Amino acid sequence: MINSMDKISYLIKKEIDIKKQKPIYVQIADTIREKIKKGELKEGDEFAPEYEFAEALGVSIGTLKKALAILVKEGLIYRRPKLGTFVGRKIKKNILKTTKNILFILSNHRIPDHHYSVLFSGIEDGCRENLYNLKFLTYYDDKNYLKKVIEEGVDGIIIAGRVKKDLVQLIINTKIPFIVIGDLVEKWKTFIYYPRIEIPIKKMIYEATKYLYDNGHKKIVFITGNINFPYYKKMVDGYKKFVEEKNLDSLFYHLESDVDREKEGYFLTEKALKEKPDAILCGNDLMALGCIEKLKEEGFKVGSDISVMGFGNLSISSFISPPLTTVDFETFLLGKESINFLKKIIVGERKRKFIWNKFKIIERESVKKLIS
């Protein structure tokens, strides 16, 4: 006969998947939290002693302790010395008083774009830690549908992607607290107040170009996306600023229309090769993948004959041959921090701008050091 403690362990274990990218301790915490919300775990239910609980779940005691610590902090469970760990006494009040409905709007862009899928994962994680509900909407200028979604109940909004000023104005008119991640695709009057997270793309690309220069590269070609969008225009500005300071040739290429990022890198590399570069800096890692494919087709050894550097640090970048040197601006953490920034706006703090300065260069084998 299965006792109640064994049953609890069984209910949780069957939800854990070691193949998922999400850490095991987070999966355990998420599963327990969800079962409390659904009423499958009730007030006063007792968990097995931690060493037995960990063994039943097939995890280390350290992993289990991390999961339980999250739930204790959230007030969903509590520990009684020498007695055990129990489901908390004020579950519904704890959940309801802190829960908010957050809407993430991805404007005129695709969620398969790795940057936004990772950003969304970070936002989702931030909502989970705060016991917030999260809705997701891809927005292609359908204002009526957006209004219907908002009418269902929204406490805060995060907007990212190719954001137009009429979308921001629409959200301003709703009086719902919101933030924008990145820049608008159109110029707007500077006195219009709206809180946003600024990503210093120009500075990041400047530092990436400097990194190649410091490693001995003097003929650096930059390939990027459509510079009609501020995101890519700032990239070019960062590149040009550095090469002009060093009196290097300003060599950059871009396409006017959106295509598959890998194909874009492939096509632009064909143009870049006419400059006989010793390094190619790419506007994102997928573009770098296409660049590397083209260089290999032309008989070049990447990281030896020509260096290649990406931007974004996609998970695939470490598996490319050779592994890709790139810029990591911690997109997942950016998503989590956007929730903390939005929380401040929700409680009435007047924040205009938050600059995201967390980025670093990830050194791998695709860039050759021409000087020691």
pLDDT digits (tens, 9 = 90+) for 276-298: 999 999 999 999 999 999 999 99
* pLDDT of amino acid 3: 44
* pLDDT of amino acid 47: 83
Q: Indicate the pLDDT class of residue 1, thresholds 50, 70 and 90.
A: very low
Q: Where are the beta strands (DSSP E) in 218-352?
A: 220-224, 251-254, 279-282, 307-309, 326-328
Burial class (CB in 10 A: 0-12, 13-18, 19+), 175: exposed
Asked if 79 and 174 sit in the same domain, the reply is no
Asked if 67 and 171 sit in the same domain, the reply is no
Which residue in 229, 241, 171 sits closest to 204, CA to CA? 241
Rounded CA separation 60/45 (Å) = 22
Asked if 21 and 137 sit in the same domain, the reply is no
**Tens digits of residue pLDDT in 253-274:** 998 766 678 899 999 999 999 9
Can you give the residue range of the structural domain that contains 166?
A: 99-199+332-355
> In which residue are the tokens 């350290």 written?
62
> In which residue are the tokens 């063994």 written?
55
Beta bridge partners, 314, equal none
* Of the listed ranges 44-48, 143-147, 281-285, 364-368, the one predicted with least confidence: 44-48
Residue 84 lies in a domain: yes
* pLDDT of amino acid 4: 54
Of 51, 78, 95, the residue at which a domain comes to its end is: 95
Rounded CA separation 282/265 (Å) = 8
Whether this prediction's pTM lies above 0.85 is answered by: no
Asked if 134 and 205 sit in the same domain, the reply is no
Residue 362 lies in a domain: no
**Among the ranges 61-65, 83-87, 238-242, which has the highest mean pLDDT value?**
238-242
Of 46, 64, 95, the residue at which a domain comes to its end is: 95
CATH of residue 117's domain is 3.40.50.2300
* Of the listed ranges 53-62, 283-292, 335-344, the one predicted with least confidence: 53-62
* pLDDT of amino acid 58: 85
